[in-house]
Amino acid sequence: MNFLRSCFRPRSNRYVHTGADSGGRQDGLLWYKDTGQHINGDFSMAVVQANNLLEDQSQLESGSLSTQESGPYGTFIGVYDGHGGPETSRYINEHLFQHLKRFSSEQQSMSVDVIRKAFQATEEGFLSVVTRQWPMKPQIAAVGSCCLVGVICGETLYIANLGDSRAVLGRVVKATGEVLSIQLSQEHNACIESVRQELQSLHPDDPHIVVLKHNVWRVKGLIQISRSIGDVYLKKAEFNREPLYSKFRLRDPIKRPILSADPAISVIQLQPHDQFIIFASDGLWEHLSNQEAVDIVQNHPRSGSAKRLVKTALQEAAKKREMRYSDLKKIDRGVRRHFHDDITVIVVFLDSNLVSKATSGKCPNISVRGGGINLPPNSLAPYATATEAGNT
């Protein structure tokens, strides 16, 4: 498998798509793009909205991974599961990839250091937003987002994660032909014992750093994840005070950041028997195991893979509430959050036979953003233009 040979020089226009289905489609609260092509193969995307304002944001960028014509080239995948509001996930969607391109240009390569710097710049940028808006909108200090990123560059796959979204690889076992699931991302959720131990070792003087509340482990009794972009009320003492709502204010002043924005980054050398990667927010994994998700992708046509995963998760959510899927679909956003979370899925297929197709002609930069329900401009709608969000 030689992904390097499938790299191309993209056109200058940023938002270019091919095919009748390129823009994505809306079916009630479900947005989907059944199929598209990135530099290394096909992809499929789907988003279902549960919150009144979509808190999940997502993107796939393929082509140049820097601001230079000389590359590097590849594919960037981002899934940003927001909480407390949509502001942080929207901000990441607009800025993280741009930071990555800038640092990649400076180093003239893709690396763990480039990705880490892009995360840090995004965190610092959102902190500046909170600092500016705090006097008028103090609750923005309690808005944050998980951040899952995949970067395919040559035959190297980088996975970076904050929070509890997940990336899962489907890999063929040569001896049997079956496709096994391999989790690529490291999660940061207080329900995981090693995460609780990490927090306790970082805060040995705080017996309440993790609290079991309503049978769920939470950091300071407030939030399940231990790493995120945003959530500055748990990172800086100056934002954990009035006029922030009292439910977010801690009894004791913050001496050191409680949450971290330092991503866990893995580097994987892709092999010819690596078939596809599923990137998804935790809304999917609440209802499907890694292997169940991989089996669904493997045992059906590629087109519509992401939508198929989302629908299967919704069917499971309906079953748990002893209701029909058809009735669940009738429940509007906002109320729908009582039944399931926003769910974002991006399935990226890895093809080893695309060399001639990718090099036979000029290929454009591809940029696709996960969509959602359009609200009036003066409301807090998901921050993306119709073109960027992929709505038709």
In angstroms, the Cα distances linking 249 to 113, 220, 233 are 34, 10, 8
Q: What pLDDT does residue 360 have? A: 30
Burial of 356 (0-12, 13-18, 19+ CB in 10 A): exposed
Q: What pLDDT does residue 373 have? A: 63
- At residue 305, what are phi and psi to the nearest 5 degrees? -60, -45
Q: What pLDDT does residue 371 have? A: 78
Q: What is the pTM of this model?
A: 0.88
In angstroms, the Cα distances linking 332 to 36, 49, 86, 326, 335 are 29, 9, 18, 13, 6
Per-domain residue ranges for the chain?
A: 29-189+225-369
Q: What pLDDT does residue 175 have? A: 86
Cα(267)–Cα(159) distance, integer angstroms = 7
DSSP 215-277: TEEEETTTBSBSB-EE-GGGT-GGGSSTTS-GGG--SS--SS-SSB---EEEEEE--TTEEEE
Q: Output the tens digit of pLDDT for each of the chain's 392 residues.
A: 443 333 333 333 333 333 333 478 988 899 999 999 999 899 999 999 988 889 999 999 999 999 987 789 999 999 999 999 999 999 999 999 999 999 999 999 999 999 999 999 999 999 999 999 999 999 999 999 999 999 999 899 999 999 999 999 999 998 888 999 999 999 999 999 999 999 999 999 999 999 999 999 999 999 999 999 999 999 999 999 999 999 999 998 898 999 999 999 999 999 999 999 999 999 999 999 999 999 999 999 999 999 999 999 999 999 999 999 888 988 989 899 999 999 999 999 998 654 323 323 345 689 999 976 644 433 333 333 322 333 32
Contact 33, 337 (CB under 8 A): no
Task: Name the β-bridge partners of 368.
Answer: 60
Q: What pLDDT does residue 270 have? A: 93
Which of the following CATH numbers is that of domain 29-189+225-369: 3.90.1150.10, 3.30.450.20, 3.60.40.10, 3.40.630.10? 3.60.40.10
Q: What pLDDT does residue 120 have? A: 98
Contact 1, 352 (CB under 8 A): yes
Q: What pLDDT does residue 18 have? A: 30
